[in-house]
Amino acid sequence: MTESSRNPHLSFSRLSRYEQCPRSYYLHYRDKLPAEPGMPLRFGTVLHAALEALLKEAIDEQLVGPLSVERALAFYQAAWLAEGLSGLELFEQGLHICRAFVRVQGVLDWRHVLAVEQDFRLQVGEFTVVGCIDRVDKLDDESIEIIDYKSNYQLFSREEVDSSLQLALYQAAAQTLWPWAKNIRLSYWLLRHDLRQVTVRTGQQISDALTYVEMLGRQIEAAASFPPQVSANCAYCDHRHHCDAYAQALTGARSVVCADLTNLVELAREREEVASLSRVLYARKQELEEVLKAHLQDKEQLELGGVRYRLLPTSTVEYPIEPTLSLLADATGAPKEQLATKLLAIDKKAFDQVLAEVGKQLPRARVALLKAEIDAHASTRYSTRFWAKGMA
């Protein structure tokens, strides 16, 4: 092991960068190339800065009451300017997120916010792990909630929340910072969805996570090669401009074309290569379209290379329940309940969101029972979906 391969300290971002793509780790920490974060990362930075300033001001002013929407928007605009972002659509998303944050927060009691942007240092075996927790709230004399703000479009799966290494590290750090806290709730606050995805960990799970951190730290130090992991995430990688593997993937260059479709091994190899490339190219298409859409915010259309681009309004129709059932019942003479049974179904995504909200107020066991009772009435429709996953 050389001096440059030593990990002076570890952090969640350092570990997760290696887990996601060893090449990215190498470019960032060994070659020390300057990062060029993409728009989603920069937008997340702006939101974090705005919420940090908003909460810190509320604590300074010893606020007990709702946060100020005007102050939230002012902090957001200042952070947007400082980051040098542009694009009306994204800017408006941020305004919406800040307004929703204030609404979802409701009444804030400054005495219940234990920390905002709390730095920590944690000894894990031979390594020092450093990090920063977005926010820690005191729930009662024995309980705290660790909150990490996320600006993801997609919600995390239950498995992702329950096995998050980031949240495990935060809990381990919180146990040293607030040793009186017997109960620790871990939350991802999904800013785009107005909801928190919550989990808890046992002492054994935290101990296992720290063992994994130490092992991963040693594995990184001992690594002799740092292979690229080309995936859809490459479009957002802050070192993509220095990555040969990504440049190669963007050309769409293929190495396998199966001429004999009865050769299933070769067919599967080509399928995996095409699947991987198509994810990369789709993500790149999205990235390019975001740029074009930003230019179309103040122009009716763009004509580029013989192609015309426009933003066309789209619409979806939703029928309000009560007047729709009433009109149909009047016209047909059928009872409303009968019509409702035929016409109405509860959207699973909306149902899950309501259940997540309920989960904040009721004990976990009660929520699980409620879900089981409702699930007993649900019907499932089956179809087939093509599925493929790499084998270790």
Q: How far is the CB of 245 from ligand SF4 (least distance, A)?
A: 5
Residues with Cβ < 8 Å from 342, sequence gap 6 or more? none
Q: How far is the CB of 7 from ligand SF4 (least distance, A)?
A: 19
Contacts with ligand SF4 by CB under 6 A: the residue count is 15
Q: Which of 285, 281, 290 is nearest to 254 (CA)?
A: 281
Select from 22-30, 114-122, 324-332, 356-364 the region that touches ligand SF4 (CB under 6 A). 22-30
Q: 127 or 226: whose CB is closer to ligand SF4?
A: 226
Q: HSE-up of 326 (CA within 13 Å, CB side)? A: 4
Options 181, 234, 325, 356; binder of ligand SF4; rule CB under 6 A: 234
Q: What 3-state class would DSSP assign to 152?
A: coil
Q: For the chain, give me the number of helices (H) and strands (E)?
A: 14, 9
Would you count residue 21 as binding ligand SF4 (CB under 6 A)? yes
Residues 117-125: contacts with CB within 8 Å, 24+ apart? 117/52, 118/177, 120/173, 120/174, 120/176, 120/177, 122/169, 122/172, 122/173, 122/176, 124/10, 124/172, 124/210, 124/213, 124/214, 124/217, 125/210, 125/214, 125/217
DSSP E strands in 91-179: the ranges are 107-109, 113-124, 127-140, 143-150
**Residue 85 Cα distances to 78, 89, 288, angstroms:** 11, 11, 16
Would you count residue 216 as binding ligand SF4 (CB under 6 A)? no
Options 229, 276, 297, 353; binder of ligand SF4; rule CB under 6 A: 229
Select from 20-28, 113-121, 175-183, 285-293 the region that touches ligand SF4 (CB under 6 A). 20-28
Would you count residue 220 as binding ligand SF4 (CB under 6 A)? no
Q: 79 or 234: whose CB is closer to ligand SF4?
A: 234
Count Cβ atoms below 10 Å from residue 67 Cβ, excluding itself: 21
Q: 23 or 185: whose CB is closer to ligand SF4?
A: 23
Q: 21 or 46: whose CB is closer to ligand SF4?
A: 21
Options 95, 124, 245, 267; binder of ligand SF4; rule CB under 6 A: 245
Q: What 3-state class would DSSP assign to 144?
A: strand
Would you count residue 277 as binding ligand SF4 (CB under 6 A)? no
Options 230, 277, 325, 356; binder of ligand SF4; rule CB under 6 A: 230
Select from 46-54, 189-197, 236-244, 267-275 the region that touches ligand SF4 (CB under 6 A). 236-244
Would you tell me which residues interact with ligand SF4 (CB under 6 A)?
A: 21, 23-24, 27, 228-230, 233-234, 237, 239-240, 243, 245-246
